[in-house]
Amino acid sequence: MNQIYKIVLGFIVLGAAATTVFADSVCKHVDIEWIGTHIPLPDNAKMVLKRENGQLCEVILNINDSLVPVYAGKDFIFAGQLFKNGRSITRETMKNIPDVVDKEKKRLAQEKALKKENLKSFFKKNINALEQFVFQSFKPEQAMGFFYVVTDPDCSQCRDLLPKLELAALDSGMEVKVILYPVLGARSRDMAAQAVCNKYSYRDYTEIELIEPESSCEQADLLFARTEAFFRSAGIDFVPLVLAGDGSWMVDANDIRQVRTHLGLETGEDENSSGKSCSAVSGY
């Protein structure tokens, strides 16, 4: 084969060795269900573009509101950038289909804005229900007022956020009430149950490490059942989430700048900053 492909990968998932001979179109077998057998996908993943590119099928996916290019063969798939003869094929694709990309980006932005507004409305109506889910809290002396953080013990973004929330609580004189929402799978559930069943203090929780999977307890099972039913009714499948005690504001990521802005500790355009979150494991 005269053509030489240099592949720079963000990550690679191989179902089997690549095959260079295809009887039919290289894209004929590629759909969202087939891709899902090779790469874990959220339930709302969709294909934005699918077309042949040499001996590979080039696909652009919408995954958690981000556009992700992937390349498929007969029985394998990889995601990342594809280079050929010193050129980024991936970059050229994204550049040469501006209408498709722009349309999808606008749609994603509209959906994200609508979802955020719907969540704000949901919590304004149901903010009083959160108190029954509180596991522990960080309360400075003479604290007046409080806010909630919804978290998962196995979420790295949540762990990064908690100490920053403590500082914000100290600076604002407000209590941080912690709600456990284990969405990342069995390990998360085991860690959350370990904290609840063993009556961890707030400080114990911030330092939690899974000792070993153990049987849950009735208290944890009942708490998580109620918590999951409540948040899933609002379509929430991610953490962290920070909420005002009266439901007047919400930060749906680990963006401490937005939190501090809402608390009056910083000034600026809080809606323009951004943060990261942990998404639920599909099927859990």
Per-residue model confidence as pLDDT tens digits over 39-73 = 888 887 888 889 898 889 999 888 877 788 999 99
pLDDT at 8: 36
Per-residue model confidence as pLDDT tens digits over 92-117 = 887 776 677 677 778 777 887 888 89
Give CATH 3.40.30.10 domain extents, the chain. 118-279
- 93-100: long-range contacts, CB 8 A cutoff, minimum separation 24: 93/49, 93/53, 93/58, 93/60, 93/69, 94/60, 94/67, 94/69, 97/49, 100/48, 100/49, 100/60
Hey, what CATH topology would domain 118-279 get? Glutaredoxin (3.40.30)
How confident is the chain (284 residues) per 10-residue block, as mean pLDDT?
38 36 73 92 85 90 83 90 87 75 76 85 94 96 95 95 97 97 94 95 94 84 96 93 94 92 80 68 57
Work out the end-to-end distance of the chain between its first and last CA atoms, rounded to an integer number of angstroms: 45
Per-residue model confidence as pLDDT tens digits over 141-161 = 989 999 999 999 999 999 999
The model scores a pTM over 0.75: no
